[in-house]
Amino acid sequence: MKFSDLDIRRMYDSVRSDLYTDFFSPVLSASTECKRVGGTFTSKTFLKIATGMKDFIEKDGQLQLVLLPNFTKEDLNAINTGLKNEEDVLLENWIKEYEQIESEFVKNHTKALAWLLKMKLLVIKIVRIKDLQGNVVRFQDLESILKETESETKSQLNQQKENIEKIRKLRQKIGIFRGEGKDEFITFRGNLDYEAEGSDYGHIEVSRYWESDDERDECDKDGEEFEKFWNDEEEFEYIPNYKFQSVLLPDALKQNLVQVAPESKSEINLARP
């Protein structure tokens, strides 16, 4: 089935729609590739990514994820004072979190992504962020840091607003779906972590490559945004004074994830309770 055969709307929200039943499941069923940027390396993020992926997994779809580390302020202090390194903290946090998962539903979705990772159908990259002094910075602190920065001129104020908007866009998520054929291209931007933000409202805006020139341009821009993080192995300034770098998931963490993967595809269970 082609994307254009689906009833894909421009906007979805959690009040009028079930985001996963109405959008993610049908789009993933028709996708051969899925790419996501934004969100933290947590089981909750894995749950949101894997929900609706049954058909996508069944036909060996390719998945690429760019995620942010879920560091606490204590983690940051330990890293920046040399007590620990980033890779060790990522692994420690993941092991601790996975051991605390009580819901089989959440564990099953994590295991589904672990199976994709084991079969080399999933590649994960983690975004490192440092200031000009080389100190590691938490992504979730950047917006407040930028807001506290004094802007003396209109140009500086406009730059500040632009930087904050880029951070908010990355925090919300960008998703890309590819089917078979050049025009089989859909992207979305939006808020999927509404529960963590104390709200019961989630929303996404969708762009369909075949629909109009404006939506085609939006798809291209979202694709470029993803590739900026995916392909740049060197540090780059996503916003002024801060260096971003996407690195492959550390081997130790990758192996820990693969250990929980099912033995076969038939053992993957993504059914809702």
Q: Tell me the one-letter amino acid at 171.
A: R
CB 261 within 8 A of CB 108: no
Helix 139-148 to helix 154-172 angle, to the nearest 10 degrees? 160
Tokens representing 154 are 């209109």
User: pLDDT digit of tens for each residue in the chain (273 aa)?
Assistant: 899 999 999 999 888 888 888 999 999 999 999 999 988 898 888 888 888 899 999 999 999 999 999 999 999 999 999 999 999 999 999 999 999 998 999 999 999 999 999 999 999 999 999 999 999 999 889 888 888 776 668 787 888 888 888 888 787 789 999 998 888 999 999 887 644 444 556 789 999 999 999 999 999 999 999 999 998 678 999 998 999 999 999 999 999 999 999 999 999 998 877
Compute, in degrees rounded to 10, the torsion defined by CA atoms 79, 81, 82, 86. 10
Q: What is the pLDDT of residue 195?
A: 45
